Structure 1
């Protein structure tokens, strides 16, 4: 793994930044394909939507990481908060801020928010899987020591090495990326069957919350406990509960998305 891919003069091109942007682009392209196939004309919005939500997600992901994961460091290094290219992005904050931007965008353009979110959900989780490759290359979002001779040994330039040295670590970020691919497939499969508007997106939130909750037991890049759980686990529990309640309410009172070509 290489943190720096190459240099343009003295300016480094970081693997983290490149793969992070590829994750956003991958989500946008996948969303474009799904929405064009859907046939309601929403694909014309996808690139503007991706730009607004992507920028909001970067801001949210950075702020979430700074204040919920690494405040012990950043409160003494305030000027480094904007240095997003060095790594340090929390996916949950990015999703929250991105979702807020997405809701505002769909309301402004008079798009059915729930139906739009259903179509976009598989694209989002696919983009997340690419984003975890960025974490691997940057040596962050790493696991704690495996206690054996198996695991990932990170280069000495990474935060993982500075934290645990040359001990083999659980491949937490790799497994999360692989889990995201499985969620992507499950969402596409579920979308092929009749469902109420909003349920695909709720299912996405629930599945990712479950995945993240259990993988946090392997993470070793931070230890901020609340009621015996890490902050990301607490967020996952809350997100799962809200999504489950919404899923049930939509099943009871929601309307079927008759315009979804994936059900036809």
Structure 2
């Protein structure tokens, strides 16, 4: 019998759609909705010339092709990242399991790196500003994060730390008898909804005219949101806490998720500084501004 303060886990079938032997699970559907939602939002953003200034905009065809590149980068990077960061010893012992993606095991940080690599290669191939392409991705990525974390909750995975005195704690089917924080929902709100709003406001205010600024803002924002949520999330059992056991007011030590956010925070800060200094803007634009006389000089001439 669950503790008095615990909420029952909602009985949601992990299979969203079943047609004969064909099954589409909520997790796969979350990836699809995230990619399609990002594709649609990206097309809306490239249709607004005022957001881009002197930066070359990708075309609608570019976005159609880019979605394939990013999808491959996310899936391959996410899987490789999970293998390397979270369970390397087990996969070295059973290398064939690396290909069994349907059994679960994806890393956001690995998927992030895979997507970044795909964006950079795509930008180089199409002659686009790589920083601006990263900015475009940064604005739409929270859509996928939101639905992905909801799928984690539906699957009853990546649950939170024990919270016996929390009124909205949940007893997860595979999480033992203790009620736990629904940390997947915390992450859906912080990394998905809140970050989406922040990026939507930022893109409307500064656009893509300072390449790298939005990308840096997203990376810093995600690192902060993920680190905060890690205080409520149960660390992966094969890793546990990497350092300490009682760090912070909420208890618990340093997790792999926190550790991987440190370089993200630093790289994001560098991107923001470089973008504000103008280092990533189109060269021709900077040269033009440096050689064009201002209005007072023009009048005196």
TM-score interval, normalised by the smaller of the two chains: 0.7 to 0.9
> In 1, distance between residues paired with 2:94 and 2:116?
29
Instruction: Provide, for residues 35-89 of structure 1, a one-character-per-residue CA deviation record: whole Å limited to 9, x for no partner.
Output: 2234735332112111111111101101111221233543444333222233221
Instruction: Provide, for residues 142-198 of structure 1, a one-character-per-residue CA deviation record: whole Å limited to 9, x for no partner.
Output: 2122123532333x3xxxx1xx32422211111111112111111121222346221
Greater mean alpha carbon deviation, residues 237-246 or residues 203-212: 237-246
Judged with a 3 Å threshold, the aligned counterparts in structure 2 of structure 1 residues 76 and 12 are, in CA distance, closer, same or farther, namely farther
Contact 1:143 1:173 in 2 (8 A): yes
Matched, 1:150 2:162: no
Match of 1:200 among 214, 219, 236: 214
> In 2, distance between residues paired with 1:221 and 1:256?
41
Bigger Rg, which one = 2
Judged with a 3 Å threshold, the aligned counterparts in structure 2 of structure 1 residues 107 and 8 are, in CA distance, closer, same or farther, namely same
Matched, 1:183 2:218: no
Contact 2:235 2:241 in 1 (8 A): no
> In 1, distance between residues paired with 2:179 and 2:107?
23
Task: State how 1:11-26 maps to structure 2 within 5 Å.
Answer: 11-26=22-37
Give the equivalent residue in structure 1 for 2:250.
Answer: none
Matched, 1:47 2:64: yes
> In 2, distance between residues paired with 1:26 and 1:247?
26
Match of 2:151 among 114, 120, 134: 134
Instruction: Provide, for residues 123-145 of structure 1, a one-character-per-residue CA deviation record: whole Å limited to 9, x for no partner.
Output: 11222111112211222222122
Query: Secondary structure of the equivalent of 1:145?
Result: coil
Give the equivalent residue in structure 2 for 1:62.
Answer: 79
> In 2, distance between residues paired with 1:221 and 1:79?
25
> In 2, distance between residues paired with 1:120 and 1:71?
29
> In 1, distance between residues paired with 2:133 and 2:49?
10
Instruction: Provide, for residues 5-39 of structure 1, a one-character-per-residue CA deviation record: whole Å limited to 9, x for no partner.
Output: 34333443322112222222222221122122347
For residue 91 of structure 1, report the CA deviation from its aligned partner: 0.9
Judged with a 3 Å threshold, the aligned counterparts in structure 2 of structure 1 residues 41 and 251 are, in CA distance, closer, same or farther, namely closer
Greater mean alpha carbon deviation, residues 234-243 or residues 113-122: 113-122
Contact 1:213 1:237 in 2 (8 A): no
> In 2, distance between residues paired with 1:231 and 1:255?
32
Contact 1:59 1:94 in 2 (8 A): yes
Give the equivalent residue in structure 2 for 1:120.
Answer: 137
Greater mean alpha carbon deviation, residues 125-134 or residues 218-227: 218-227
Unaligned runs of 5+ in 1: 260-264
Query: Secondary structure of the equivalent of 1:5?
Result: strand
> In 1, distance between residues paired with 2:184 and 2:64?
28
Give the equivalent residue in structure 2 for 1:210.
Answer: 224
For residue 211 of structure 1, report the CA deviation from its aligned partner: 0.5
Pairs aligned (count): 251
Contact 1:118 1:199 in 2 (8 A): yes
Contact 2:215 2:271 in 1 (8 A): no
Question: What is the RMSD of the two structures over their aligned residues, measured on CA atoms?
Answer: 2.3
For residue 120 of structure 1, report the CA deviation from its aligned partner: 2.8
